[in-house]
Structure 1
Amino acid sequence: KAWLEKNSTRVPRDSLTYKAIQYTLNQWELLTGYLADGRLNISNALAENAIRPFAVGRRNWLFADTPRGAKASATVYSLIETAKANGLEPFAYIHHVLQHIGGASTVEEIEALLPWNVTLSKLQEG
């Protein structure tokens, strides 16, 4: 930050370098926010990788036909990506949910089917 502050006065104000330095200084708190919490990652690569299937599948969404179809697709994609983020194999997880959701009669039983509440051992049991 000290280098940016020192050099911001050394470049022409109408240059792209000056604009980049000012932008960085203006965003400094956000850029260094990960330092305040050790659980935060400096890189957003995990998030980028998680949304890549959406970018690749974008053309397919043109054929969702209706807003309801698009919402259903978004729900399924979200569930699959959340299963992956929780260390579950998506096909096995969806299979597990479809086997058990019909018998779920309480909010707690439905919440037990959410990806962060399902363990791989439960999936292997069927």
Structure 2
Amino acid sequence: TIKARQCAPMVAYRFEDSRSGECAVRHLNGYRGILQVDGYAAYNKLARSDRGNDGITLAGCWSHCRRKFYELHVAGSSEVATATVERMAKLWQVEKTVRGQSPDARVAARQQASAAIVADLFDLWQQTLRRISGKSKLAEAIRYAVSRRAIFERFLADGRIELDSNIVERAIRPQTITRKNSLFAGSDGGGQTWATIATLLQTAKMNNVDPFAWLAVTLQRIANGWPSSELDALMPWNHAA
């Protein structure tokens, strides 16, 4: 059993041969806890109690919500989109003041400042939606937010939840950049190996460890007969700088 040091960051990649919702269900089967998500429909199925996953709490990503409004704001085509982007910016300002603090402290700050901002945003969106074309880009952006209101508001009452999933997005980016190379993994087994290596290297980076130095030392130790009962000592977060 491998145990991460308390608060040690870690990322895990998993190879799948499609974007089918069943891949997410298979990957997270039996998971209990918070799942911060974008708009991928498969996540909604994961939280359904009839699938035995009633222990999953979905939390929305405000960065994903912001993107559609930001595109309209940059194009200068919607005053409502601009107002939305400006009001959302205040949410990230609040988060800067509580980063690294306890969940209780984060909730207190969010209730004091962020809750009113969120309520104003949903009021603005609902009022706007009644008077614009349902086929417009603005209506599409608003429906994305309003239809997910419960999961977008969840961070207000739970200090363990982040405002967005940007930490995960940054961890995914290296794999996204090299996705064309990934097409030549050769087989499902090759893809699984690729995911394992990416998991180890990116986890090392997240723990401020040189991934290649760590990998060289780790492979040498394994080759020299490192005992399987002490694998935990080989993990990146236990690597001596």
TM norm structure 1 = 0.73
- What is the 5 A alignment of 1:19-30? 19-30=140-151
Q: 2:226 aligns with which of 103, 116, 124?
A: 103
Q: Which residue of 2 aligns with 1:56?
A: 177
Q: Which runs of 5+ in 2 are unaligned?
A: 1-121
Q: Which runs of 5+ in 1 are unaligned?
A: none
Q: 2:157 aligns with which of 10, 20, 36?
A: 36
What is the DSSP-based 3-state SS (H/G/I as helix, E as strand, rest coil) of the residue aligned with 1:32? helix
- CA deviations over 1:63-104 (Å, ceiling 9, x no partner): 322322222121111111111122222112212322333312
Q: Which amino acid aligns with 1:51?
A: I
Structure with higher Rg: it is 1
Q: 1:22 to 1:110 in 2, by over 3 A?
A: same
What is the DSSP-based 3-state SS (H/G/I as helix, E as strand, rest coil) of the residue aligned with 1:38? coil
Q: Which amino acid aligns with 2:150?
A: E
- What is the 5 A alignment of 1:106-117? 106=229, 109-116=230-237
What is the DSSP-based 3-state SS (H/G/I as helix, E as strand, rest coil) of the residue aligned with 1:94? helix
RMSD: 2.3
How far off is 1:5 after superposition? 2.1
How far off is 1:39 after superposition? 4.3
Identity over aligned pairs, percent: 35
Measure the CA separation in 1 of the matches of 2:218 and 2:156.
38
Q: Which amino acid aligns with 1:85?
A: M
Higher strand share: 2
Measure the CA separation in 1 of the matches of 2:187 and 2:174.
21
Q: Which residue of 1 aligns with 2:186?
A: 65
Measure the CA separation in 2 of the matches of 1:97 and 1:19.
50
TM norm structure 2 = 0.43
Q: Which amino acid aligns with 1:8?
A: L
Aligned length: 118
> Is 1:77 aligned with 2:211?
no
Higher helix share: 1
Measure the CA separation in 1 of the matches of 2:156 and 2:220.
43
